[in-house]
C-alpha cells in the first residue's frame, strides 16, 4: 500500500523561509516508510518480521578450507547475508593464514 506520508515517492520535501523572498527546499527520506514508498497495515504485518520483510536469524556456516587455498582467497555464500527486498546479497569470507611453529616433544 502506498505510504500516506509521501504519496509513494519515499521522499518528503520541506520548505524553509530564510528571509524576504528567499526560501530553501530540502528533500529527505520519509520517516513513515523509511524511504521505501510503501507501508504495510498493522493487521497485515507478519508477526515474525513485523512488516520489515527481513527476519534476523543466527546461522552456523560450515567452511571447508581445501589444501592449496591461497592467502586472501575469498569464499562466498550466496543468499546468506542480510537481504534487503529485491537485492541479492552474499557473505564473503576472506582467508587469512598465520604462520605457526609446530613443536614435537620426544
In DSSP notation, 41-77 reads -GGGS-TTTTTSS------PPP----TTPPTT-EEEE
32 and 62 share one domain: no
In degrees and rounded to multiples of 5, residue 9 shows phi and psi of -85, -25
Does the structure show a pLDDT above 60 at 21? Answer: yes
Q: What is residue 24's predicted lDDT score, i.e. its pLDDT? A: 93
**Residue 60's closest CA among 21, 29, 91?**
91
Classify residue 81: in a domain, yes or no: yes
Number of domains in the chain: 2
Q: What is residue 25's predicted lDDT score, i.e. its pLDDT? A: 93
74 and 100 share one domain: yes
In degrees and rounded to multiples of 5, residue 44 shows phi and psi of -95, -5
101 and 62 share one domain: yes
In degrees and rounded to multiples of 5, residue 68 shows phi and psi of 95, 0
Domain that holds residue 1: 1-39
Classify residue 67: in a domain, yes or no: yes
Assign 66 a pLDDT band (cuts: 50, 70, 90).
Answer: confident
Amino acid at each position: 500500500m502506498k505510504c500516506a506520508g509521501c504519496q509513494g515517492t519515499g521522499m518528503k520535501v520541506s520548505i524553509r523561509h530564510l528571509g524576504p523572498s528567499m526560501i530553501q527546499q530540502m528533500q529527505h527520506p520519509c520517516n513513515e516508510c523509511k524511504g521505501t514508498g510503501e507501508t504495510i497495515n498493522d493487521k497485515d504485518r507478519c508477526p515474525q518480521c513485523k512488516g520489515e520483510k527481513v527476519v534476523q536469524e543466527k546461522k552456523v556456516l560450515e567452511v571447508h578450507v581445501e589444501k592449496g587455498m591461497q592467502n586472501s582467497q575469498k569464499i562466498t555464500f550466496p543468499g546468506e547475508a542480510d537481504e534487503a527486498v529485491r537485492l541479492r546479497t552474499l557473505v564473503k569470507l576472506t582467508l587469512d593464514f598465520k604462520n605457526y611453529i609446530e613443536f614435537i616433544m620426544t
